[in-house]
Amino acid sequence: MRASEEQLRNWMVGGLNGSAADHATLLGALVPLLQAFYRRRLRDAAEDVEDLVQETLIAVHSRRATYDPDRPFGVWLFAIARYKMIDHFRRQRQSCPIEDVEDILVAEGFEDSCSARMDVDRLLGMLPAKQAVAIRRTQIAGLSISEAATAEGIGESDVKVSVHRGLKALAARVRGER
Amino acid sequence: MDTEALIRELAQDVQPVSPNAVGKRVAAGLLAGAVATVVLIGWWLGFRPDFDLAMRGYSFWIKWIYSGTLAACAVAATLQLARPEPAPLRWLWLLGVPVVALAAIGIYEMAHVPSSDWLAMWLGRSWKQCPWIVLRLSVPIFIGLLWSYRRLAPTRLRLAGAVAGLAAGACAATLYCLHCPEASAIFVLTWYTLGIGLAAAIGALLGPHLLRW
């Protein structure tokens, strides 16, 4: 069973007051929480999860003076866990062989870029075709206004107006959706 | 090493932690650095001989309050960033208040002297050295704050470095008043602020390298 925030906090405060038993119980109870935290975020590097859990436990131990008992324990804990994860990525990137970089970038950005692309497709689908094409060409494919105008066989100002109107409509829609 | 064994080992060493340990740690680093800076001023620059006289003049207090309030803001931010949780830092715009106030005083002062004196007021006698002296005097305090951070848990390293540099620069400027004979507000606004800003910029550059844990 997972320990509640309240229990964790009490053990932490016990440890801060010098109780070794409370401190050991706390660290033990953090293990499954941290494992779950890192497993969800490092699906493709499962072998690093245990290292990160241990590093985080050491940090929780050596930097426990920075916990303020008046504040939520979970926020403090996961702030440390997140920092350790970012530090881990940074270190890995420094030492990873150059030919893997592309794979890593693809894997790391894949989920985000997929869902972003789906969102963009869905939103552009709501616009008139002319505006959607103009936005795709100039904002996503990165063509200049004049290149887009030549590709469409229409005037430059026509492209500009389409982009402007389309973006305005999208902004209104996104704001309305929230 | 398996996790169980690690936990057993960590639980061997459970010293009680005093309440407000973060504040005490930062205060210790700051104080040690400040003492070193004062010693440095005494040994390298000397205290101004007319110190008790100067303390009666308003310009001394303006300088002192200016760098003192900047230092207070920066130390408060240093304390916030010493904890890992995301800290609300929107109040840092308050740093602009002493700057704007000093600028207003500077304009007021300039309005009361002939414009031919403005350049002399602005450059004083030591404009070439002043920012560099402030920057050098900030080094011991910056080292003290780095030492404080070593046992704390900053997670935004660049910002933490910048704020520690700002605190070190502003504290150094406050202590530099013990030596500096300049009196005009516009001088302080330009050259003190330049030195303090340089210290903050260097802190921001060094933060991600020196504060990792």
pLDDT of A73: 93
Would you call A79 and B155 a contact, using CB atoms and an 8 Å cutoff?
yes
List chain A residues with CB under 8 Å of B1: 54
pTM: 0.74
Start-end of H helices in B82-192: 96-111, 118-123, 130-150, 157-176, 185-187
Is the same domain home to A132 and A84?
Answer: no
Number of domains in chain A: 2
- To the nearest whole Å, the CA of A34 is away from the closest chain B CA by 12
Burial class for B128, CB neighbours closer than 10 Å (0-12, 13-18, 19+): exposed
The tokens describing A25, both together, are 């119980």
Question: C-alpha angle with apex A24: A20 to A29, nearest 5 degrees?
Answer: 150
Is the same domain home to A65 and A118?
Answer: no
Would B31 be classed as within a structural domain? yes
Chain B residue whose CA is closest to A91:
B212
Residues 99-158 of B with CB under 8 A from A: 151-153, 155
Would B42 be classed as within a structural domain? yes
- Checking if the pLDDT of A106 tops 70, the result is no
Is the same domain home to A21 and A63?
Answer: yes
Would B111 be classed as within a structural domain? yes
Would B2 be classed as within a structural domain? no
Residue A109 binned pLDDT confidence (cut-offs 50, 70, 90)? low
Number of domains in chain B: 1
Give the residue from A43, A78, A95 where a domain finishes. A95
Question: pLDDT truncated to tens, each residue of chain B (213 aa)?
Answer: 688 889 988 988 888 998 889 999 999 999 999 999 999 998 888 887 777 777 777 888 899 999 999 999 999 999 999 999 988 888 999 999 999 999 999 999 999 989 888 888 889 888 888 999 999 999 999 999 999 999 999 999 999 999 999 999 999 999 998 888 888 899 999 999 999 999 999 999 999 999 999
- To the nearest whole Å, the CA of A82 is away from the closest chain B CA by 9
pLDDT of A58: 95
Is the same domain home to A64 and A16?
Answer: yes
Chain A residue whose CA is closest to B86:
A79
User: Measuring CA to CA, which residue among B19, B143, B20 is closest to residue B79?
Assistant: B20
Give the CATH number of the domain where residue A47 resides: 1.10.1740.10
Burial class for B203, CB neighbours closer than 10 Å (0-12, 13-18, 19+): buried
pLDDT of A161: 87
Query: Which residue in the set B6, B10, B17 is minimally distant from A65, CB to CB?
Result: B17
Give the residue from A66, A95, A124 where a domain finishes. A95
Is the same domain home to A69 and A120?
Answer: no
What are residue B124's phi and psi, to 5 degrees? 55, -150
Identity of residue B23: G
Mutate to test the interface with B, among A50, A56, A60, A83 (most CBs of B within 10 A): A83
Q: Which domain holds residue B111?
A: 22-210
Residue A23 binned pLDDT confidence (cut-offs 50, 70, 90)? very high
Instruction: Give the percent of chain A with pLDDT over 90.
Output: 37
Chain B residue whose CA is closest to A61:
B10
Q: Evaluate the CA torsion angle B122, B125, B129, B134 in order and state its sign.
A: negative
Would B15 be classed as within a structural domain? no
Residue A114 binned pLDDT confidence (cut-offs 50, 70, 90)? low
The tokens describing B52, both together, are 């008790």
Asked whether A48 and A78 are in contact (CB, 8 A), the reply is: no
Burial class for B161, CB neighbours closer than 10 Å (0-12, 13-18, 19+): buried
- Checking if the pLDDT of A60 tops 70, the result is yes
B47's torsion region: left (phi>0), alpha (psi -120 to 50) or beta?
Answer: beta
CA distance B210 to B165: 12
Query: Which residue in the set A19, A57, A68 is minimally distant from B14, CB to CB?
Result: A19
The tokens describing B133, both together, are 């002296």
Would B116 be classed as within a structural domain? yes
Would you call B86 and A79 a contact, using CB atoms and an 8 Å cutoff?
yes
What are residue A79's phi and psi, to 5 degrees? -65, -40
Is the same domain home to A82 and A57?
Answer: yes
Residue A95 binned pLDDT confidence (cut-offs 50, 70, 90)? low
Asked whether B138 and B199 are in contact (CB, 8 A), the reply is: yes
Chain B residue whose CA is closest to A31:
B3
pLDDT of A142: 75
CA distance A27 to A56: 10
**DSSP secondary structure code for residue A68 in this structure:** -
Q: What rounded mean pLDDT belongs to chain A?
A: 82
Would B185 be classed as within a structural domain? yes
Give the CATH number of the domain where residue A141 resides: 1.10.10.10
CA distance B166 to A45: 39
Give the residue from A41, A72, A95 where a domain finishes. A95
- Checking if the pLDDT of A1 tops 60, the result is no
Would B6 be classed as within a structural domain? no
CA B37, distance to chain mean position in Å, is: 12
What are residue A12's phi and psi, to 5 degrees? -60, -45
pLDDT of A110: 53
How many residues would you count in chain B? 213
pLDDT of A4: 86
Is the same domain home to A9 and A85?
Answer: yes
Would you call B83 and A76 a contact, using CB atoms and an 8 Å cutoff?
yes
Is the same domain home to A112 and A154?
Answer: yes
Chain A positions contacting chain B at CB under 8 Å are 15-21, 23-24, 27-28, 31, 50, 53-54, 57-59, 61-68, 71, 75-76, 79-80, 82-83, 87
pLDDT of A178: 52
Would you call A80 and B155 a contact, using CB atoms and an 8 Å cutoff?
yes
Is the same domain home to A69 and A141?
Answer: no
Residues 6+ apart with CB under 8 A from A79: B84, B85, B86, B153, B155
CA distance A83 to B212: 10
User: If DSSP codes are grouped into helix, strand and coil, which group holds residue B15?
Assistant: coil
Is the same domain home to A25 and A78?
Answer: yes
Is the same domain home to A84 and A112?
Answer: no
- Checking if the pLDDT of A29 tops 90, the result is yes
Residues 68-87 of B with CB under 8 A from A: 82-86
Q: What is the mean pLDDT of residues A67-87?
A: 93
List chain A residues with CB under 8 Å of B22: 65-66, 68
pLDDT of A111: 55
Is the same domain home to A69 and A44?
Answer: yes
- Checking if the pLDDT of A96 tops 70, the result is no
Q: Which domain holds residue A79?
A: 5-95
List chain B residues with CB under 8 Å of A68: 22, 83
Would you call B6 and A57 a contact, using CB atoms and an 8 Å cutoff?
yes
Quote the ipTM score. 0.85
Asked whether B130 and B196 are in contact (CB, 8 A), the reply is: no
